[in-house]
Amino acid sequence: MSPNHRELHVTVNGTAYQSRVEPRLLLSDYLRHELALTGTHVGCEHGVCGACTVLFDGQPVRSCLMFAVQTDGHEIQTVEGISAGPEQLHPLQDAFWTTHALQCGFCTPGFLMTLLPYLETHSHPTADEVRQAISGNLCRCTGYQHIVEAVLLAAERTRQSSPESG
C-alpha cells in the first residue's frame, strides 16, 4: 500500500467503516467501489447532474465533488440507508412509485437524497418550489412532471399521517 494512503473513519448509513484511501479517491467512488454501495450513481463527475447526491452530516452534497478522505469523522447517508429494509419503501420512494416518477431510474437516488432533507423542512411545498428544490438534479426520462407530483404526494401523505406537524 502506498505511503500516500490515509486512514479514514466514516459512518455510512449508521455503520462505522475504517478504510485506507488515496487522497484523490472521490467520495462517490469510495461508496461504490470500496463499500459496494452502488445505489449512489455517477453521472457527470463534475457537479452538474446531481445523480451522486448523498447526505453529508444530514445535508445534500455532490459526492463527486468531495474526496473520501474529507469525510473522516463525519456521517454519510446514501439511498441504501433511507428505508427500513429491502422489502419496504420509504414514503418518498413509495410516492415516486405511485406517480411513475422514474423510468430508467438512474437519476432517482440523487433526487431522493436531495428531497429527503427538503421535505423535512418544507411540509407544504408548491409545485414551483419543488421545481426549484430539484433544479440541481437532471432527469432525462420523465420531463420532471411526475417527479413534482411525487414530491407533492409525499408531502401530502406526510401531513395526513402527522397532522400536528402540518
> What is the rounded distance in angstroms from the CA atom of residue 102 to the CA atom of residue 114?
15
**What are the helix (H) ranges across 37-107?**
91-98
Considering only 18, 59, 160, 165, the residue that binds other proteins (CB under 8 A) is: 59
6 contacts other proteins (rule: CB under 8 A) = yes
Instruction: Write phi, then psi, for 118 (nearest 5 degrees).
Output: -60, -45
Beta-carbon contacts of 14 under 8 Å, excluding residues fewer than 6 positions away, are 81
24: number of CA atoms within 13 Å, CB side? 2
Q: Which parts of 142-161 interact with other proteins (CB under 8 A)?
A: none
- The candidate with the shortest Cα–Cα distance to 111, out of 30, 49, 45, 35, is 49
Among residues 120 and 162, whose Cβ is nearest to other proteins? 120
Under the binding rule (CB under 8 A), the answer on residue 122 touching other proteins is: no
Is the CB of 53 or the CB of 78 nearer to other proteins? 53
19-58: contacts with other proteins (CB under 8 A): 22-24, 26, 29, 45-47, 50, 53, 56
Tell the residue number behind the cell numbers 401523505, with chain if given: 157
Pick the stretch among 7-15, 60-68, 77-85, 146-154 that binds other proteins (CB under 8 A): 60-68
Task: Of 142, 103, 136, 97, give the one whose Cα is nearest residue 117.
Answer: 136
Nearer to other proteins, 72 or 120 (CB): 72
Q: Where do contacts with other proteins occur on this chain (CB under 8 A)?
A: 4, 6, 22-24, 26, 29, 45-47, 50, 53, 56, 59-62, 64-67, 69-70, 72, 114, 118, 131-133, 135-136
